[in-house]
A and B are shown apart, each in its own frame.
Chain A
Amino acid sequence: MKADETLDCVGLYCPMPIVHTARKMKELKAGQVLEVLSDDEGIKEDMPSWCKTTGNEYLGIEEEEGVYRAYVKKSG
């Protein structure tokens, strides 16, 4: 999946990936896509949940060798 920005949260645990995501999303424009890398399995549930609470669009998650890539589109 193509993203406008990538955030590396490998080695961090809840709530830090969400903290960094929230911070980064403030810089993005509506419609831009953020890719979040994480090796905390909790991200699989946390990212869609965070999107649901904040109203951003959750585009999905990919896993490769223990690293998750979650995609979030900033809502308008």
Chain B
Amino acid sequence: MADKEKMTVIVYSGEMDKALAAFNLAIGGATSGMEVTMFFTFWGLDVIKRNEGGIKSKGIMRKMLNLMDRGGAKRLPLSRFHMLGMGKWMMKKLMKDINFPQVEELIALAKEFGVEFVACTTSMGIMGISKDAFIPEVDRFAGVATYLARAKESKINLFV
């Protein structure tokens, strides 16, 4: 068989609904036989932060940022109608009603089908987040050159 077709998804957003869209597309690509790379950057890093424990960072501003923006697949807000979590609670219930997986389950599915997770080191630098803040499913820590090299050989490149 020839080289597999490739696809990339930039996950810029840290909201639950947008993460669902990104994973839905990535999993769709991977289950269709494509090699998929997800590049998590800026608020998108929240999606791949550990759910457990604290996030260490240096300096008062970065400490505050990581306190206010803890992240983790289970903590992502809704982009609309979050309503201090009430909207999110309702959306999760609606999803459960139709057996739709939660973000953390989509992460596991994406990995099952070989989706590669790359975390953006620039965003990590700005926000003062270290490697140990992330889930072990993250394959690589890299920057724009890595993304572009991959995107150049991909037929489908998405930004969420």
Given A13-B98, A50-B32, A53-B32, A19-B24 contact (CB < 8 Å): no
- Interface check B33, CB cutoff 8 A: yes
- Interface check A31, CB cutoff 8 A: no
- Interface check A14, CB cutoff 8 A: yes
Q: Which residue of A16, A21, A53 contacts B100 across the interface (Cβ within 8 Å)? A: A16
Q: Do A22 and B31 touch (CB < 8 A)? A: yes
Closest to A11 in B: B99
Q: Do A14 and B32 touch (CB < 8 A)? A: no
| Residues in chain B near residue A55, CB distance under 8 A | 33
Q: Do B33 and A53 touch (CB < 8 A)? A: yes
Q: Which residue of B32, B33, B101, B113 contacts A16 across the interface (Cβ within 8 Å)? A: B101
| Residues in chain A near residue B101, CB distance under 8 A | 16
Q: Do B32 and A54 touch (CB < 8 A)? A: yes
Give A36 to B32 CA distance when docked, in angstroms.
16
Give A32 to B98 CA distance when docked, in angstroms.
30
- Interface check B109, CB cutoff 8 A: yes
- Interface check B27, CB cutoff 8 A: yes
> How many residues from A make CB contacts under 8 Å with B?
15
Interface string of A39-76 (1 = CB under 8 A from B): 00000000000100111000000000000000000000
Closest to A53 in B: B32
In the assembled complex, the CB of A12 is this many whole angstroms from the nearest CB of chain B, namely 5
| Residues in chain B near residue A14, CB distance under 8 A | 24, 28
Given A15-B24, A18-B28, A22-B113, A54-B33 contact (CB < 8 Å): yes
Give A21 to B98 CA distance when docked, in angstroms.
18
| Residues in chain A near residue B34, CB distance under 8 A | 53
Q: Which residues 36-53 of B have a CB within 8 angstroms of A?
A: none
Chain B interfacial positions (CB closer than 8 Å to A): 24, 27-28, 31-34, 98-101, 109, 112-113
Which 5 pairs show the lowest CB-CB distances between chains A and B? A22-B31, A53-B32, A54-B33, A15-B28, A15-B27
